Amino acid sequence: MNEGGSVGGAVKRRKVIVIALTLALAVLLLFALLTVSMLGLTAGSGSASKRVVVDVKSGSSVSEIGSQLTSANVVPNAIAFKLYSRITSAGPFQAGKYELNTSQSVPSAIRALSRGPQISYRILALPPGLTIAEIAERVGSLRSMSSAAFLEVVASGSIRSKYQPEGNSSLEGLTWPDTYYISEQEDEAAVLKRIVDRFDSEILRMKIDEQASAQGKSVYEITTLASLIQGESRLDEDRPLISGVIANRMRLGMLLQIDATLLYARGDRGPLTSEDFARPGPYNSYKSLGLPPTPIMTVTAPSLIAALTPAEIPYLYYVLYEKNGKHKFATTYAEHLANIEDARRRGVL
The whole-number pLDDT of residue 30 equals 55
Mean pLDDT of all residues belonging to the chain = 89
Taking the C-alpha atoms of residue 315 and residue 329, their distance in angstroms, rounded to an integer, is: 6
For 239-264, the pLDDT digits (tens) are: 999 999 999 999 999 999 999 999 99
Could you give the number of structural domains in the chain? 3
The whole-number pLDDT of residue 160 equals 97
Q: If you average pLDDT over residues 83-92, what whole number do you get?
A: 88
Residue 337: inside a domain: no
Residue 349: inside a domain: no
Residues 79 and 107 in one domain: yes
CATH of the domain at 33: 3.30.1490.480
For 315-336, the pLDDT digits (tens) are: 999 999 999 999 999 999 999 9
For 156-208, the pLDDT digits (tens) are: 999 999 999 999 999 999 999 999 989 888 999 999 999 999 999 999 999 99
Q: If you average pLDDT over residues 301-315, what whole number do you get?
A: 98
Q: Which residues of 186-216 are buried (b: 16+ CB within 10 A; e: fewer)?
A: bebbebbebbbebbbebbeeeebbebbeeee
What confidence tier does 1 reach under pLDDT thresholds 50, 70, 90? very low
* Contact in structure between 48 and 101 (CB atoms under 8 Å): no
End residue of a domain, out of 102, 119, 136: 119
Instruction: State which residues form the domain around 126.
Output: 121-205
Q: If you average pLDDT over residues 280-297, what whole number do you get?
A: 96
What confidence tier does 220 reach under pLDDT thresholds 50, 70, 90? very high
* Contact in structure between 154 and 174 (CB atoms under 8 Å): no
* Contact in structure between 298 and 171 (CB atoms under 8 Å): no
Residues 193 and 253 in one domain: no
Residues 88 and 161 in one domain: no
Q: If you average pLDDT over residues 38-53, what whole number do you get?
A: 60
End residue of a domain, out of 205, 232, 252: 205
Taking the C-alpha atoms of residue 30 and residue 325, their distance in angstroms, rounded to an integer, is: 59
End residue of a domain, out of 83, 100, 119: 119
Residue 88: inside a domain: yes
Residue 49: inside a domain: yes
- According to DSSP, the residues that pair with 125 across neighbouring strands are 179
What confidence tier does 33 reach under pLDDT thresholds 50, 70, 90? low
Of all residues in the chain, what percent carry a pLDDT higher than 70?
85
Taking the C-alpha atoms of residue 37 and residue 103, their distance in angstroms, rounded to an integer, is: 15
Residue 8: inside a domain: no
